[in-house]
Amino acid sequence: MTAARRATQGFTLIELVVVITVLGVLAGASAGFLRGPITSYFEAERRTDLAAAGDLTLAKLRQDIARAVPNSARVINAGGRFWLEVLPVRSQGRYRAAGAGNVLSFGVPDTGFDVLGPPVQTQAGDWVVVNNHLPAADVWGGTSRAAYTGPPGLAATLQHAAHVFAADAPDRHFQIATSPVSYACDPTTGTLRRYSNYGNPGAAQPTAFGPGAQNDLVATGIQRCRAAEFVGTRRRAQTVAVEIGFFANGDRLTLADTIQVETPP
């Protein structure tokens, strides 16, 4: 056989079969080596997504609880579920309790007072809250709140429905509160929902909300719910303890947080 003829023959069938077999073995071995890191990467990504969802859930709770009227957080636990209600603060300031002009009076019906300092933001349907730190104060029952009756916008003088406020606050502090907000955590449906625009503050905490309430889905994949509130004083803020367990794609995550309601003066 001449050299020219050998150069044009190429690979034999046996040689091709051997090459394909070797490549298959190498590919299989490579897949075995790569399977572990790839699986770990996707597991880590799922856990990161789960942790991020949990952090966002707690951040939403903190946003409403931390900016609530002092001692307004209240909790119901039943059947592995919890309902948490707060009275959010729109604005706050100090009232004028002495001097000429409109001052806040105590022990007698009062219908308004001057703001000491910059004007505060108000809207129709808001509530004026004074000294909800007192042991006998009950913003839900109405002892420490009065309906705002002035015009919306920035107010230097607050007008409110006739109300008898009990006592002077240590630093003459007040809050302008909005309508209540509730969170309902239910492991049965695996959801945490936020309800708003369902009515005025009431003595009884609601666990059901009408069709007119705004219903926002905060989180899914919830497997465990628990909450508790601890009453504050003039020197110690009210705190809310929350524990929420998440489950998704075989991964479990339990997050717990203690959230402080607005620090009292």
CB 260 within 8 A of CB 115: no
Beta-strand pair 181-186/81-86 = antiparallel
Ranges under pLDDT 70 in the chain = 1-11, 18, 25-50, 263-265
| CA geometry: angle 116, 119, 122, nearest 5 deg | 125
Question: Measuring CA to CA, which residue among 75, 105, 41 is closest to residue 205?
Answer: 75
What are the CA-CA distances from residue 190 to residues 11, 41, 219 (Å)? Answer: 63, 26, 8
The predicted structure's pLDDT at residue 10? 63
| CA geometry: angle 52, 57, 62, nearest 5 deg | 120
* Bridge partners, residue 122, by sequence: 153
CB environment 217-239: b (16+ within 10 A), e (fewer): ebbebbeebbbebeebeeeebbb
Please tell me the pTM assigned to this model: 0.81
How far is 130 from 128, CA to CA, in rounded Å? 7
The predicted structure's pLDDT at residue 119? 96
The predicted structure's pLDDT at residue 53? 77
Neighbouring CB atoms inside 10 A of 265's CB total 15
Residue 180 contacts by C-beta under 8 Å, 6 or more apart in sequence?
85, 86, 87, 88, 196, 198, 199, 200, 201
How far is 72 from 51, CA to CA, in rounded Å? 29
Identify the DSSP state of 263: -
The predicted structure's pLDDT at residue 125? 94
Identify the DSSP state of 148: B
Span 106-138, pLDDT tens digits: 889 999 999 998 999 999 999 999 989 887 889
Question: Measuring CA to CA, which residue among 111, 70, 112, 61 is closest to residue 89?
Answer: 70
CB 229 within 8 A of CB 34: no
